[in-house]
Structure formats: C-alpha cells, structure tokens
C-alpha cells in the first residue's frame, strides 16, 4: 500500500487481534534496529492485553465455579436437611390419622409438639433462604424505621422456639435507645443468634442479650456460657453452609445459613458483626446499628 499515510501494525497473539496501531509515515524509513524495537513494543502490548484477558476470564470462571458450588451445596443441604423434618411431620400426621384412637393423651401431645417444632424449624429455614437469596440478588427492599431497641429485643424473644424454656435467657438493655433499622430483618438476626446459642450450648446454659450505646452507635451482644467456638473454626463461621463440628449440635439440623445471613443484614445496616470469647467460657456475638437522629423528648 504505497499510498498509505501510516504504517499499520496489528497487536495480536496468534489469531486473536486486540487492536491496530498506526504510525504516521514519512520519507524516512525505519532501520532494522528501530523496526525491531517497534515490534518488541507491539508484542509487549499484545502480551499485556493477553494477560489481562486471561485474568478476566479466570475471574469469570472462578465466579461461575463458586456459584455452581453454592448451588450444589444448597441443593445438597436442602435435600439432606429438609428430608428429616418433612418425613417426621408426614409420619406423625399419618400416625394421628390412622391410629389416633389408640394413642393416649400424653403420646398425642408429644406428637403435636414434634410436628409444631419441625414446622417452626422449616419456616425459619425458608425465611433464611428467601432473605439471603434476595440480599445476594439485590432484590431485598429495606424498610428503615426508628425503633426502641428494648422493644425489638423483647419481640425477638417471642419468636424463639419453645426449646428456650430449658435455658436461662436474660436481657439487659439501656432504656430509650432509638435505632434506625429494618425491624423485621433485625428480629431475624436476633432470632438466628439466640437460636444458635441454644443449639450449641448444653441445656441449662445462660444466654444474655445486652443493648447499649457505644461510640455513637447502638451495640447489641448475644452472650452464652457454653463450650465456645474452637479457634480453627472462627475464620469460617460466617461462610455460607459452614456448620462446624459440635458434640452438642451434631445431631441437630442446620443449613449453615444463619450467621452468613446475619452478617449480610448487619453490613446492609452499615454495621459490623463480630465474634469474641466470653469469660470464663462461651462466646459473644456483637453487632452494631446506627442510632436514630430523632431526639426523644421526655
């Protein structure tokens, strides 16, 4: 192309062309050294673009692989953990339908309790699944209102399973702490944390829920005096589907969604959820929430 006004060189690796550079042509002709340097620069550009493309593809593949793994874990967890309560409900209902007249009142009462407990557990799992799916997809709409912290804690205790009767649960909350929150989601956080404390501590343990102002924020703690959490497990407890190992809770069902969901909800409130050790034993889950700007007039 003798009439071309530029010298055009392709930035390419193999058959993949990333671009073309044009160098204004003039009467001077590149000597062999200059042309070699120019080709080296073009090749370096092509190599850098190839590396960037490979890094982007690798990142995309890693995200796809993680999503597929999460989906597989979710399906496996659902099929494994939901089968037990569903079979229990079905079996107990069948027994009442076909043999109800042969059962004494005490046995019937226990069957009713078992059906209720399994149903409550399933409802909690479904709520966690829906919330964490909507959070991850960005479809969960927050409804922030100003709420008194002590009333929210009291309301959350009314949603705790009947198993809490076997534990000593106390609340210590400062009065008139007005907090900006989505009340239903924060109740869900408290219910998950308290249920966790019940699940992983022996019967008769003490669980304390504290609420206070700290460094310009509302701080809520859920403390227990159980066996605590091993140091090697602590880095993973907020990961989805991680349930850990516990001699107390090994026989209990858990999808491992609770703490992951709690962390996502608290972060959406511009807060933090952390785990610390209790003294002399046990653990403390602490999270912060923004205080309301509304001033209470006495």
- Could you report the per-residue pLDDT of 76-129, keeping only the tens digit for each? 666 666 777 888 899 999 999 998 888 999 999 999 988 988 888 788 777 777
149 C-beta neighbours (distance < 10 Å), count: 24
pTM: 0.64
Q: Is the CATH number 3.10.290.20 carried by domain 145-290?
A: no
CA dist 250 and 241 (Å) reads 15
- Rg of the chain over all Cα atoms, to the nearest angstrom: 30
Residue 248: predicted pLDDT: 42
Question: What pLDDT score was predicted for residue 220?
Answer: 97
For the chain, domain boundaries: 6-62, 82-137, 145-290
- Report whether 205 contacts 225 (CB < 8 A): yes
What's the CA gap between 89 and 145, in Å, rounded?
38
For residue 159, pLDDT over 70 is answered with yes
**Model confidence pLDDT, tens digit, residues 13-62:** 888 888 888 888 676 667 788 888 888 999 999 999 999 989 999 998 88
Q: What's the CA gap between 52 and 46, in Å, rounded? A: 10
Which structure tokens are listed for 85?
A: 């309560």
Could you read off the pLDDT of 236-261 as tens digits, one per residue? 888 766 666 554 443 444 556 678 88
pLDDT at site 16: 86
């Amino acid at each position: 192309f003798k009439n071309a006004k530029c010298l055009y060189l392709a930035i390419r690796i193999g058959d993949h062309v990333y671009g073309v550079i044009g160098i204004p042509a003039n009467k001077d002709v590149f000597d062999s050294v200059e042309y070699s340097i120019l080709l080296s620069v073009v090749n370096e550009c092509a190599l850098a673009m190839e590396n960037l493309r490979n890094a982007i593809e690798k990142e995309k593949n890693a995200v796809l692989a993680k999503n597929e793994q999460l989906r597989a874990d979710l399906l496996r967890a659902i099929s494994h953990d939901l089968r037990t309560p569903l079979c229990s409900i079905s079996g107990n209902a069948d027994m009442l339908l076909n043999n109800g007249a042969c059962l004494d009142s005490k046995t019937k009462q226990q069957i009713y309790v078992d059906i209720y407990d399994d149903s409550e557990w399933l409802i909690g799992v479904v709520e966690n699944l829906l919330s964490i799916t909507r959070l991850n997809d960005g479809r969960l709409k927050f409804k922030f209102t100003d709420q008194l912290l002590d009333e929210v804690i009291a309301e959350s205790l009314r949603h705790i399973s009947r198993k809490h009767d076997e534990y000593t649960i106390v609340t210590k909350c400062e009065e008139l702490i007005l907090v900006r929150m989505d009340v239903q989601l924060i109740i869900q956080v408290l219910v998950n944390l308290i249920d966790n404390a019940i699940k992983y501590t022996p019967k008769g343990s003490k669980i304390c829920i504290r609420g206070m102002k700290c460094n310009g924020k509302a701080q809520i703690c859920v403390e227990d005096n159980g066996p605590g959490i091993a140091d090697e497990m602590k880095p993973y407890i907020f990961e989805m589907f991680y349930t850990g190992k516990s001699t107390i809770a090994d026989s209990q069902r858990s999808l491992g969604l609770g703490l992951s969901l709690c962390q996502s909800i608290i972060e959406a409130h511009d807060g933090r959820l952390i785990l610390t050790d209790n003294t002399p034993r046990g653990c403390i889950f602490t999270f912060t929430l923004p205080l309301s700007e509304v001033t209470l007039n006495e």
